[in-house]
């Protein structure tokens, strides 16, 4: 038992240390004498009593707790004399919004002339409620992270809220583009009520939810029977036993109200402090779930649809082609594949500007769509190239469609103040005569399209076996490529990557060039596709990796610091070579920090052999090298692979950067990818930066790294060495 001589005498002195400690205690505390008189209490204890400021109108302990009378207090006091602490549970006299019973801890204290006890009060129900909210938060966050739909997440949220607070009915409504309420989750609400309010317009007097969405602020109606906001819906609510409703808007970061979160009560009343604490937590969870759903929709659009025309892209086209070929093989039906390429589009684009060229492409896409059946597929592969899948169509029917397509394009288009009449060349292949797999059909349609261009444009041609001149030229190029690999005719150029926050060098990208003995430098665009098709790309990649690491060692010996160099790897490297072992051997020959090497991979790699790919990428990361996804957003962009694969970096494709300053679509897409990188904690590198305006826009978006002609062109070893040595101001 504590026995400080002056302890009790200081309790009623506001300037004493013990008094100050009592008042500032984080829990409800009071001092009671042997008779049960409350000598002193802090504000938290007095809040339980509910009578103003602490120590105003002091009480007896029998008045604070109805379960303690004179006899029980005497018994508790007797027990306390033989114990250091005594725990008991008692019922409050004034419950209000407090739990009906509380856990008390009594600790005896005495001085020379007086005895008493400190009483500590613990709100165990409040602890239970806090733990319940934390558990609710954890479950909902796990549901969001696992990629479940927003309806499923909201249903879980409502059920957990109702389990914590059985007196409420919880609902979540969405607000559609027309300003109408749409059902999202209401697990305990009667179905006829849900159907009755689904589709109702929001407005200034539209019940609690419709008004909250309209105002963009909380609406708390404690009595539906008499509140004017419910005038038009009062009978509906009352007939379902709903007497009060507290609704909060779910407001996105851009200020848009996406939905409402509401608690209904069966009797007229307001929300308790616990309800308010719970709703605050739930609104945050709703916002996270809605933002996640919005991001998934954006990523799905990026993954499967062309951002300019909203047509299916290469990935979705490939998927539909596989389905069509399987179905038509069973049904023994033909499949027509048409490739359409606009004539002289580059001239139009260069003379009128990229933004007006994009307008023309969107107009063409709409016209082509109108010529096709609902079951057909129209895709844009990039640039001015469109592909069509026409299930069940043979040669005669394909002719009708091709003529219809050309006629639809022949109508002039006003591009700004210029009248343009687009024409196109169309190549056609028919399955199964021209091929039984999509790659072959597409290749043959492509050959036919080039034949149409060669024969005057604005026409169509069917594939014929003799259209293989280009194939012969390709074979000649392949022979030259094999010789180039043997004679090591490939050289490495380097382009700087700049950190936009520090204005310092982030790293270099290694770019391969073919120094042909007769043709001079050959662009990668001319030989990389052929190298990939012929299986030679892995040998080229290996030579480049070897040259880069060797040069890094030379720079290190010269005292030149380069934190990171990026080297491109192709899909073939993962199919036909042990990438990890190759990289390990090179790093052993040129002992440099593994983290200074970044390997760039394409999104198409994620489409094939996902499990093997994942294992290979994880083994590369185990070596310590970094991984970057090149040309992100132009292929199979997917939240699932960003979660699974251990990548460090996303490269924003130059097609998004090109018209960044004057094209809202490109800005929106670039912003979405940069935001995606922030979400997954990945570095985003913007490619193809050529103007100050593009650079400023990227900086405003929060992009971390950029490269392009604005900073420097790709340079051979001698030039980049001088560039690094001089330490130029990058911007």
- Mean pLDDT of the residues in the chain: 86
Residue 80 has pLDDT above 70, yes or no: yes
- Asked whether residue 80 falls in the same domain as residue 55, the answer is yes
**511 domain residue, yes or no:** yes
In this structure, the answer to whether residues 161 and 73 fall within a common structural domain is no
- The verdict on residue 415 lying in a domain is yes
In whole angstroms, give the CA distance from residue 319 to residue 336. Answer: 16
For 279-318, write each residue's pLDDT tens digit: 999 999 999 999 888 887 777 777 788 888 989 988 889 9
**Among the listed residues 622, 623, 547, the one whose alpha carbon sits nearest the alpha carbon of residue 590:** 547
- 456 and 503 part of one domain: no
Q: Hey, what are 91's tokens? A: 């019922």
Task: Kindly state the percentage of the chain with pLDDT values over 90.
Answer: 48
Q: Is the pLDDT of residue 53 over 50?
A: no
pLDDT surpassing 70 at residue 396? yes
Mean pLDDT of 25-46: 83
Greater confidence, 702 or 332?
A: 702
- 3-class DSSP state of 213: helix
Same domain? For 297 and 330 the reply is: no
CA pair distance 67, 413, nearest whole angstrom: 88
Determine the average pLDDT of the residues in 656-672: 85
3-state DSSP assignment of residue 17 = helix
**Domain boundary residue, one of 122, 140, 171:** 122
pLDDT of 699: 94
Domain ends where: 122, 141, 170? 122
Say which CATH number the domain at 192 has. Answer: 3.30.450.40
* Burial of residue 145, with CB atoms counted within 10 A of its CB: 0-12 exposed, 13-18 middle, 19 or more buried: exposed
Instruction: Give the DSSP letter of residue 59.
Output: -
- How many CA atoms are closer than 13 Å to the CA of 207, on its beta-carbon side? 27
What's the rounded mean pLDDT across residues 256-283? 92
**Residues in CB range of 106: below 8 A, 6 or more apart:** 76, 80, 85, 86, 87, 88, 117, 118, 119, 120
Contact 339, 426 (CB under 8 A): yes
Domain boundary (122, 138, 155) is at 122
For the chain, percent of residues with pLDDT exceeding 70:
89
Rg (CA), the chain: 36
**In a 3-state reduction of DSSP, which class is residue 195?**
helix
CB 31 within 8 A of CB 107: no
What b-and-e string marks burial along 103-134, b requiring 16 or more CB atoms within 10 Å of the CB? Answer: bbbbebbbbeeebbbbbbbebeeeeebeebbe
List the CATH number of the domain containing 551: 3.20.20.450
Question: How does residue 570 score in pLDDT terms, banded at 50, 70 and 90?
Answer: confident
More confident residue, 641 or 424: 424
- Say if residue 112 is in the same domain as residue 173: no
d(CA 269, CA 61): 31
Place of tokens 């209490």: 41
Please enumerate in sequence order all residues whose Cβ is within 8 A of that of 513, keeping only pairs 6 or more positions apart, or say none.
490, 491, 492, 493, 521, 522, 524
Query: Looking at the domain assignment, is residue 164 inside a domain?
Result: yes
Q: How many beta carbons lie within 10 A of that of residue 17, not counting itself?
A: 9
Residues 549 and 646 in one domain: yes
Query: What pLDDT is stored for residue 272 in this prediction?
Result: 86
Let me know whether 253 and 400 are in one domain: no
Q: Are residues 320 and 282 in the same domain?
A: no
Distance CA 514, CA 481 (A): 9
Distance CA 74, CA 393 (A): 98
Q: Show the domain range for 12.
A: 8-122
pLDDT band at 640 (very low <50, low <70, confident <90, very high): low
In the predicted structure, residue 92 carries a pLDDT above the cut 90? no
CATH number at residue 328: 3.30.70.270
In a domain? residue 620:
yes
Q: What is the DSSP string of 552-610?
A: HHHHHHTT---S-EEEE--HHHHHHS-HHHHHHHHHHHS---GGGEEEEEEGGGGGS-H
Number of domains in the chain: 4
Tokens standing for 58? 């002091």
Alpha carbon distance 31, 40 (integer Å): 5
What pLDDT, on the 0 to 100 scale, is given for residue 616? 87
CA 383 to chain centre: 27
The per-residue pLDDT for range 578-637, each reduced to its tens digit, is 889 999 999 999 988 899 999 998 876 765 545 677 888 889 999 999 999 887 766 544
Length of the chain: 731
Pairing type for strands 418-420 and 257-265 reads unpaired
* pTM of the model as a whole: 0.42
Is position 597 within any domain? yes
Question: Does the pLDDT of residue 125 top 90, yes or no?
Answer: no
User: Do residues 529 and 583 share a domain?
Assistant: yes
Q: Is residue 568 part of a domain?
A: yes
Residue-wise pLDDT for 322-353, tens only, equals 998 988 888 888 999 999 999 988 777 766 77
Distance CA 450, CA 341 (A): 9
Distance CA 355, CA 660 (A): 10
- The verdict on residue 350 lying in a domain is yes
End-to-end CA distance of the chain: 74
Quote the crossing angle between the two packed helices 579-589 and 537-557, to the nearest 10°.
Answer: 20
Question: Does residue 228 sit in the same domain as residue 259?
Answer: yes
Q: What is the CATH number of the domain that holds 92?
A: 3.30.450.20
All residues at 6 or more sequence positions from 454 whose CB lies less than 8 Å from its CB, including other chains: none
Same domain assignment for residues 570 and 671 = yes
Mean pLDDT, range 228-240, rounded to an integer: 93
Q: Binning pLDDT at 50, 70 and 90, where does residue 55 land? A: very low
Q: From the DSSP assignment, how many helices (H) and strands (E) are in the chain?
A: 26, 26
Strand partners, 715: 494
For residue 485, being part of any structural domain is answered with no
Q: Are 48 and 27 in contact (CB under 8 A)?
A: no
Residue 220 predicted with pLDDT over 70: yes
Q: Are residues 138 and 95 in the same domain?
A: no
């Amino acid at each position: 038992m504590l026995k400080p001589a002056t302890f009790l005498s200081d309790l009623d002195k506001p300037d004493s240390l013990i008094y100050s400690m009592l008042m500032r205690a984080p829990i409800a505390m009071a001092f009671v004498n042997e008779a049960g008189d409350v000598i002193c209490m802090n504000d938290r204890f007095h809040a339980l009593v509910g009578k103003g400021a602490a120590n105003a109108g002091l009480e007896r302990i029998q008045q604070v707790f109805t379960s303690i009378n004179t006899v029980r207090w005497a018994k508790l006091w007797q027990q306390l004399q033989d114990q250091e602490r005594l725990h008991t549970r008692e019922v409050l006299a004034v419950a209000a919004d407090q739990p009906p019973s509380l856990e008390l801890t009594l600790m005896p204290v005495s001085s020379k002339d007086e005895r008493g006890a400190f009483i500590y009060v613990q709100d165990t129900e409040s602890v239970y409620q806090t733990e319940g909210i934390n558990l609710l938060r954890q479950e909902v966050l796990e549901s969001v992270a696992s990629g479940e739909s927003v309806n499923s997440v909201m249903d879980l949220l409502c059920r957990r809220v109702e389990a914590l607070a059985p007196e409420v009915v919880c609902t979540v409504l969405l607000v559609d583009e027309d300003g109408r309420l749409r059902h999202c989750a209401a697990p305990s609400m009667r179905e006829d009520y849900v159907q009755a309010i689904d589709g109702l317009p929001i407005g200034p007097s539209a019940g609690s939810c419709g008004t909250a969405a309209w105002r963009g602020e909380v609406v708390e109606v404690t009595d539906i029977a008499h509140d004017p906001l419910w005038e038009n819906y009062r009978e509906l609510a009352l007939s379902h036993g709903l007497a009060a409703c507290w609704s909060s808007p779910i407001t996105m970061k851009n200020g848009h109200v996406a939905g409402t979160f509401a608690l209904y009560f069966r009797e007229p009343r307001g929300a308790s402090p616990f309800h308010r604490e719970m709703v605050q937590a739930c609104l945050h969870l709703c916002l996270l779930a809605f933002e996640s759903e919005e991001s998934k929709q954006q990523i799905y659009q990026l993954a499967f649809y062309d951002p300019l025309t909203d047509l299916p892209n290469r990935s979705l086209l490939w998927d539909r082609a596989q389905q069509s070929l399987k179905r038509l093989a069973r049904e023994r039906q033909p499949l027509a594949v048409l490739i359409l390429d606009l004539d002289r589009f580059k001239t139009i684009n260069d003379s009128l500007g990229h933004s007006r060229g994009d307008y023309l492409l969107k107009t063409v896409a709409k016209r082509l769509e109108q010529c096709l059946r609902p079951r057909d597929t129209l895709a844009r592969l990039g640039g001015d190239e469109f592909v069509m899948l026409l299930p069940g169509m043979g040669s005669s029917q394909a002719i009708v469609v091709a003529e219809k397509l050309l006629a639809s394009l022949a109508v002039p288009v006003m591009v700004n103040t210029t009248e343009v009449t687009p024409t196109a060349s169309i190549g056609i292949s028919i399955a199964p005569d021209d091929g039984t797999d999509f790659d072959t059909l597409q290749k043959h349609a492509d050959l036919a399209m080039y034949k149409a261009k060669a024969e005057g444009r604005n026409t169509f041609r069917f594939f014929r076996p003799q259209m293989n001149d280009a194939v012969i030229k390709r074979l000649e190029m392949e022979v030259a490529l094999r010789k180039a690999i043997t004679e090591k005719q490939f050289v490495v150029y380097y382009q700087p990557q700049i950190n936009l926050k520090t204005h310092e060098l982030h790293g270099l990208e290694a770019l391969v060039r073919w120094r042909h003995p007769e043709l001079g430098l050959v662009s990668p665009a001319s030989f990389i596709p052929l190298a990939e098709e012929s299986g030679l790309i892995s040998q080229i990649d290996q030579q480049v990796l070897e040259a880069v690491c060797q040069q890094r060692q030379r720079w290190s010996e010269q005292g030149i610091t380069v934190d990171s160099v990026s080297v491109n790897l192709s899909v073939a490297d993962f199919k036909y070579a042990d990438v990890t072992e190759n990289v390990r051997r090179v790093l052993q020959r040129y002992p440099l920090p593994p983290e200074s090497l970044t390997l760039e991979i394409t999104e198409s790699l994620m489409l094939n052999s996902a499990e093997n790919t994942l294992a290979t990428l994880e083994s590369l990361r185990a070596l310590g090298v970094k991984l970057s996804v090149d040309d992100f957003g132009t292929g199979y962009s997917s939240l699932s692979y960003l979660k699974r694969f251990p990548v460090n970096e996303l490269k924003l494709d130059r097609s998004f950067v090109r018209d960044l300053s004057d094209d809202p679509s490109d800005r929106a897409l670039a912003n979405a990818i940069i935001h995606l990188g922030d979400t997954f904690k990945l570095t985003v590198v913007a490619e193809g930066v050529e103007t100050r305006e593009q650079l400023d826009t990227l900086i405003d978006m929060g992009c971390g790294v950029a490269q392009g002609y604005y900073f420097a062109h790709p340079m051979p070893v001698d030039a980049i060495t001088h560039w690094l040595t001089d330490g130029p101001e990058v911007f």
